[in-house]
Amino acid sequence: MAIRTLDQLGDLRGKRVIVRCDLNVPLKDGQITDDGRVRASVPTLTALLEAGATVVVISHLGRPDGAPDPKYSLAPVAVRLSELLGRDVAFATDTVGDSARGVVAELGGGGIALLENLRFNPEETSKDAEVRAGFARQLAEFADVFVSDGFGVVHRKQASVYELAEALPSAAGLLIEQELGVLERLTVDPKRPYTVVLGGSKVSDKLSVIDALLPKVDTLLVGGGMLFTFLVAQGHKVAASLLEEDQVDTVKEYLRRADELGVTIVLPTDIVVASKFGADAEHVVTAADAIELTPFGASGLGLDIGPESSARFASEIGRSATVFWNGPMGVFELAPFASGTRTVAQALADFDGFGVVGGGDSAAAVRALGFEDSQFGHISTGGGASLEFLEGKRLPGLEVLGWQ
């Protein structure tokens, strides 16, 4: 792994460091419901503070459409960050305005501040590189060096990710180093058997990663809403379950290629089918080739993999040496349809090999279901970035840091 790291920035004592974190956490009624990304940012911030630097933290949260929106404020994150660091984190109510300038100017040596949501400024995500560069120059006025540690955004060419790294001496933080180390273990001579578990709603979201991983894995387990397109590709009917008809031929080709490559694709043999989408829906377990034969007929909705399939998936995970999981097995937010995801999570938690939860909805699911981060080999902070890395795509936020 070749990328500029913190130790290449030299002595940081007395210097001001601006750090791009990914603090894009879920909020409900102004409260953080999953602080995983905040906790993941702590090691780098602690290392910089212990090195004697004054730290200015920047991040986005949600998609506020380029204008201030109170429901996307980072204020609750500043409170949680203060708790985790054990010190006050000053909070600026804007990003490059009077509040930000004032808060940064008042920071004493070794102090830390968090600026308001970057995406309250339309320049952050502008498609015009010059506009982004202008915003990056404003951010650069707050610091002597830049540390990029928001792995969840390195696949985006945005001002605080790309142009800011060009405007100041820059390096990757500890989180990005860790994430790259994990992903390289998944792509460079992984220990075998190597199993990938893919879920989530749409096949189209996973096309590139399936294409890239098929030649590299031994077993591919398919769950979530995307499984129904696979079932249709095998000639089965799926009632009103989620289906991407325009991807059926693509999936047929994946099934053919897998057979050619000697890769085992494991599809669910039983499905939890519901009368409607809701926690109070009537539901039954049925064979995967009999979804339309339930009492709900053609209006039945497949919302989870069944117990037989869950047990098979857990068995495949247990006999593997390397496992990467991205995407829940069903609608885990609704208790009657969380069992498949819980079983996969438990299998990965009990797993003796190298297991990676691939961020995004998978990370949210394991925490929502009561698992601790420490139960897994690694929980990525970047679902989309992880997938694009595995697909072999160029990630601008890493390339600008010298990654090769």
Catalytic site positions: 37, 202, 360, 384
As separate numbers, helices (DSSP H) first and strands (DSSP E) second, the chain gives 14, 17
Helices (H), 243-401: 248-261, 307-318, 339-350, 360-368, 383-390, 396-399
Would the annotation count 256 as a binding residue?
no
Would the annotation count 360 as a binding residue?
yes
Would the annotation count 370 as a binding residue?
no
Would the annotation count 359 as a binding residue?
yes
Would the annotation count 29 as a binding residue?
no
First to last CA, the chain: 7
Would the annotation count 218 as a binding residue?
no
Q: Which residues pair with 27 in a beta bridge?
A: 32
Helices (H), 86-144: 98-106, 129-140
Q: Are 329 and 341 in contact (CB under 8 A)?
A: yes
The Cα–Cα gap between 37 and 92 comes to 20
The Cα–Cα gap between 279 and 274 comes to 10
For residue 252, the tally of other CB atoms under 10 A from its CB is 16
The Cα–Cα gap between 146 and 18 comes to 5
Would the annotation count 206 as a binding residue?
yes
Count of residues making up the chain = 404
Would the annotation count 157 as a binding residue?
no
Would the annotation count 63 as a binding residue?
yes
Would the annotation count 109 as a binding residue?
no
Would the annotation count 61 as a binding residue?
yes
The Cα–Cα gap between 164 and 57 comes to 13
The Cα–Cα gap between 345 and 341 comes to 6
Would the annotation count 362 as a binding residue?
yes
Rounded CA Rg of the chain: 23
Would the annotation count 224 as a binding residue?
no
Token code pair at residue 278: 């809701």
Would the annotation count 267 as a binding residue?
no
Q: Which burial class, exposed, middle or buried, applies to 175 when counting CB atoms under 10 A from its CB (0-12, 13-18, 19+)?
A: buried
Would the annotation count 326 as a binding residue?
no
The Cα–Cα gap between 242 and 205 comes to 14
SS (H, E, C) 355-368: EEECCHHHHHHHHH
Query: Annotated binding site, which residues?
Result: 22-24, 37, 60-63, 119, 156, 206, 302, 333, 359-362
Where is the binding site for ATP, in residues? 206, 302, 333, 359-362
Q: Which residues does the annotation place in the binding site for substrate?
A: 22-24, 37, 60-63, 119, 156
